[in-house]
Amino acid sequence: MSLYAAIATLKKRLVRALAERDGWRDAGNEEKYREACSLVEALTEQLDKRELAARGRTLA
């Protein structure tokens, strides 16, 4: 998978994770909400790293 395809996939996963997190928050399920928050944080970190790598490639 190319770097740009990986970024696109991560963005899709992040959108789904954000929606799921918000759903758990609205439902009042604190345990599932916290789990979803952890997933959102992990996906955000992965996306940031890949976007930084992509910027490095375009500058090189």
pLDDT, tens digit, for every residue of 29-47?
Answer: 999 999 999 999 999 999 9
CB 4 within 8 A of CB 51: no
Domain ranges of the chain: 3-59
- pLDDT class for 52, splitting at 50, 70, 90? very high
Nearest to 23 by CA among 43, 13, 44, 37: 37
Q: What is the pLDDT of residue 58?
A: 72
Size of the chain, expressed as the number of residues it contains = 60
pLDDT, tens digit, for every residue of 8-24?
Answer: 999 999 999 999 999 99
